[in-house]
Amino acid sequence: MFFTYLSRNRHFDKYKQLKKFIKKFPALWKFLTWLKDRLINLSRLIDVLMMLLLFHAWPEQTYRFSTRKLLPSKKNRFSKESRPIIPYDLLTNKSSNIPKMKEINVIARGSSFDLNNIKKINGPIFLISFWRPLKIDNNGNIIYEHCYTEKEISGGLGAKGAKPFKNWTDKGELGKFFDLTKNEEYKKKNVTYVIGRMPVMERFRKNGHNILAVSLNYMDKDGNLCPFQEDQTSSSFLNFFDDDRYNRISLVEKIYRPPLIAPYPFWAPTGSFLPILCALSYFAEKINVYGWDYYLESSPEKMSYWELFFNMYQYKLDVFRSKIHFESALINFYYGYQLSKLPNINIHGRLGQLGKHEKLIKRIERVLFQ
């Protein structure tokens, strides 16, 4: 073991020396990094193609080609009968004492929802994945200024220069991100931003907004609960919620059967909306959901099986970001369909319009469960 460790160190040192040498030739370095990126993207596309094929030929084996091992192997699948309807357990002792609400409204950034309709909504509103406060433009419309420009989105998310900032801990940089335009912020007492990153939470607090944080946990092989994000166990994070205007909800993820052991990561690729919606379901009798589209630009009700299936994968959103788009679509489509059947959750977004696609949902079920 000791000699293996020394051998690895020597190889790593040689790699660093070679890298340093090649960087002396900028043109060569640029070409090699370009080639590396293209090969990685090609490898991902081959994986996606195999998943698309297996999804129809043998759904239970689709997981074998998940690039980042983010679909469950057989041992980590719940049975169809035992799968949790709400795939997250509430940790009451690590959550704020939030009174039960009669009816709430949960809003995502999908194009099916016009933000101006917020003005017409009564009752608590929770905004999910809004990394800047809503603004009011010169015509009095409510707008959200995205992290990316339209040009950057069409050119490929994650491309160099696409993000206006990269350092969440740089308060000066974060301040510029919040104030890219001088439009007035939209403020309403019943609006809460659901944010989990401490520097962003502090900025929303400084601007006078309500805040909710949702913390996720997983169960390790010894049955211990572990946080997804270590910084959410820090005293600065926990002390943030001493103020009654700010709340947190802690959950244990149960998308896959624990424990998830290497090479499988400890988390499922859900995105942020699903766990937050499930967290809020513990504190509301009725939930109206808007804008949960998972990147669909038209209603599934108007699509054929194959149209919807091929809309589950979008190249630029996948290879220029985290290479999990198809895997995440499987989970979001499945739970969008299942949660829309619950009597107390009304999903007005496009993932609430999957009723005629039971055949597709049944295939997804064979990927995720046994």
Do the domain assignments include residue 341? yes
pLDDT at 153: 38
Q: Give mean pLDDT, residues 24-39.
A: 93
How many Å apart are CA 281 and CA 170, to the nearest integer?
A: 34
Do the domain assignments include residue 25? no
Do the domain assignments include residue 283? yes
Do the domain assignments include residue 59? no
DSSP E strand stretches across 153-221? 184-185, 191-194, 210-219
Q: Are 77 and 369 in contact (CB under 8 A)?
A: yes
Q: Which residues pair with 250 in a beta bridge?
A: 215
Residue 16 C-beta-side C-alpha neighbours within 13 Å: 6
Do the domain assignments include residue 39? no
pLDDT band at 171 (very low <50, low <70, confident <90, very high): low
pLDDT tens profile 274-333: 999 999 999 999 999 999 999 999 999 999 999 999 999 999 999 887 899 999 999 999
Do the domain assignments include residue 98? yes
Q: How many domains does the chain have?
A: 1
How many Å apart are CA 351 and CA 282, to the nearest integer?
A: 21
pLDDT tens profile 263-282: 999 999 999 999 999 999 99
pLDDT at 160: 42
Whether omega before 259 lies within 30 degrees of 0, making that bond cis, reads yes
Q: Are 96 and 278 in contact (CB under 8 A)?
A: no
Do the domain assignments include residue 62? no
Alpha helix locations (H) across 127-267? 150-155, 171-178, 198-206, 235-239
Do the domain assignments include residue 228? yes
Provide the domain limits for residue 350.
Answer: 86-145+181-357
The whole-model pTM stands at 0.87
pLDDT at 13: 79
